[in-house]
Amino acid sequence: MNVPLLKKRVPNLTSAARSVGLRPATVSNLCTGKIPVGRSEVRTLVALATLAKCSLDELVIRNEPITILETKIKAVDLFAPIAKGGTIGLIARPGMGQLVLLGEMLHRFKEDNYVSILFKPKGQYPELADLLKDVDHITNSIEETYHLICELATNNNEIILATDREHVISGEIFDLQNRIQLQNVEDVTTFLVDLKGQVVDEELPYGPLETLLYFDADLAARNLFPAINPIYSTSSVLEGNHLDEFHFSIQLHARKLLRRFRELRSLVSVRGMESLPSSELEIYRRGERLEAYLTQPFIIAEDYTGRTGESVRLVDAINDVQTILSGGLDAERIENLIYIGSL
């Protein structure tokens, strides 16, 4: 799906989608790749092309290469890879750790020589203070942000832009993205958060996205961080041939296991472990271990947690998950898998 074109042509996609009889959630899933274009209804694609005033060939990208930004954060790289130059939306209520995750990614990108910009929302948000030490530039207006991006791009800098949903609602972010596209500036990866916590209740809170990071209240309540929901988080990188075949296969199997594990966990919480048939006990135990493995100590949180931050290469994370799925850690204690790096 040509998400940048949709952003440019249909900035208020939620209302526009409803006006032609499309569900915003369906459009969102198409944009992030959760629903592959090949499995979408033709009428949906035709309606989107009509809204964008383009042809189907323009709307559907065929074999265009996508560069993945590897964060070395297991849950992100495995389930919702970051598309370079794309727009990433974080769906969370306050207290689920979205700003900690954003701060950790900014820290890691800084180590990889990316230049970061925080386009500040209006008002006072003291919780942003912890982000500032890993932010290279802070801007207060769309004009200031635009001119800074153009200046940085002139020097061939790769740019990370972070901002709040209020700039999406106002249309400023879409305006900014359109303007920098006209200047042929492509290497700007945008992260969107919602400091008010209202984003969870919206069907299409940020408009079209390349990557959706959905946070999970249950994981956060059990202090399993980053509390990224591995089932609902997704990325346009998953669509087409952008993902390594082995990675894609492991990811599918991991999602299936975790989905069933969550169902069984609800049953166990009511009826106890003895309610599980032997055929399901193996799934439950492997789900427990995989869920524990996906936790990770962060570099920026070392002073608070007392744990050394861990970075895990994607290839190692994939191999580790395969080990768990195949039963290689069935005898391992859960405590030995929580908040580790790679196996």
> What is the pLDDT at residue 16?
84
Q: State which amino acid sits at residue 2.
A: N
> What is the pLDDT at residue 188?
94
Q: What angle do CA 300, 247, 333 make, to 5 degrees?
A: 60
> What is the pLDDT at residue 242?
66
Domains (range + CATH), the chain? 3-59 (no CATH), 68-237 (3.40.50.300), 245-336 (1.10.1140.10)
What are the pLDDT digits (tens) for 278-303? 889 999 999 999 999 999 999 999 99
> What is the pLDDT at residue 305?
93
What are the pLDDT digits (tens) for 243-280? 788 999 999 999 999 999 999 999 998 888 888 888 89
Strand blocks (E) in the chain? 68-69, 82-83, 87-91, 115-119, 137-139, 159-164, 188-193, 211-214, 234-235
Residues 6 or more apart from 183 whose CB is under 8 A from it? 150, 153
Long-range contacts of 33-38 (CB under 8 A, 24+ apart): 33/1, 33/234, 33/235, 33/236, 33/237, 33/238, 33/239, 34/212, 34/234, 34/238, 36/239, 36/240, 37/1, 37/239
Over 70: is that where the pLDDT of 312 sits? yes
What are the pLDDT digits (tens) for 194-213? 998 888 888 788 888 889 99
> What is the pLDDT at residue 247?
93
Give the pLDDT band of residue 240 (cuts 50, 70, 90): low
What are the pLDDT digits (tens) for 42-91? 888 888 888 888 888 788 866 566 789 999 999 999 999 998 999 999 99
> What is the pLDDT at residue 29?
82
pTM of the model: 0.87
> What is the pLDDT at residue 186?
78
Give the pLDDT band of residue 239 (cuts 50, 70, 90): low
Q: Which residue has the tokens 């990433």?
A: 88
- What does the mean pLDDT of the chain come to? 90
- Distance in angstroms (rounded) separating the CA atoms of residues 4 and 303: 39
> What is the pLDDT at residue 144?
97
DSSP 243-311: S-HHHHHHHHHHHHHHHHHHHHHHHHHHH-GGGS-HHHHHHHHHHHHHHHHT----GGGHHHH------
Residues 6 or more apart from 177 whose CB is under 8 A from it? 4, 7, 8, 87, 188, 190
Which of 41-55, 175-189, 215-229 holds the top average pLDDT? Answer: 215-229
